[in-house]
Structure 1
Amino acid sequence: MKMKMKMILAMAGMVAFPLALFADSAIYFCEETGSYGASWGGNMASVTQTAIDNCQSQGGTNCQELVSCEGTGYGAIAISNNEVIGASCGYNTQKEANKAALESCVQSDGDGCTVKHTWNG
């Protein structure tokens, strides 16, 4: 059965100072299977490949970028009971990242959205 997941993402604006090395984030998502993968804390090439690998290892067959952020910042992934996902990255605090991911999930008609993954990249 083809899973029908709705998704929306939230991304904070980046600050104007030089970005730290090895602090990027990426989240990849497969709409066909509902699988997703995330990675953070490395350079963009490495976190992108790891996120794709994680998505595929969860059964993803067509993993596409959901959100990515260069530089440091907090991020979150929220999942609902009715197969909706919301994601955020690049926020100044974990509380802001969690709120953005939850709002993204709810705005896409997510029912019972909860934050499942958090990080500070």
Structure 2
Amino acid sequence: MTMILVIDRDGVSRRLAARVLEQAGRRVAQGSCGCEAAGLARRHRPGLVLMGVDAQAEEVLRALRCLRAEPVMSGVRVHALVARGLAPGYARMLADEFDGFLVKPFDQRGLFRYVDAQLRRRP
């Protein structure tokens, strides 16, 4: 079964996403900051990554680039979890850097449908 890596400084959002996905039968690994994402990716070899995006855009982009540099991440899609208030201002960055995004707060069914659709798209 495909591992999903959830990285988000917002502990409530991270734990909610993990719980929803685990209750739907998905395997999930969690991390609280981008700096640990590369190590988690090496350890867990995810098929999909959900990464929280907040006002610390430069730090998030550095973490994303480090994550994408990992050989185990070849072909793995990375999607942003973006707070509703940040979504409009981050549209260009998201389009250029991430493979897609989901706006927080998300509802449980919406999160599962989004993740399920992304996993079906895997190369």
TM-score above 0.5 = no
- Which structure features the higher share of helix residues? 2
Structure number with the bigger relative contact order (C-alpha 8 A, sep ≥ 6) is 1
Structure whose residues are more often strand by fraction:
1
**TM-score, normalization by structure 1:** 0.32
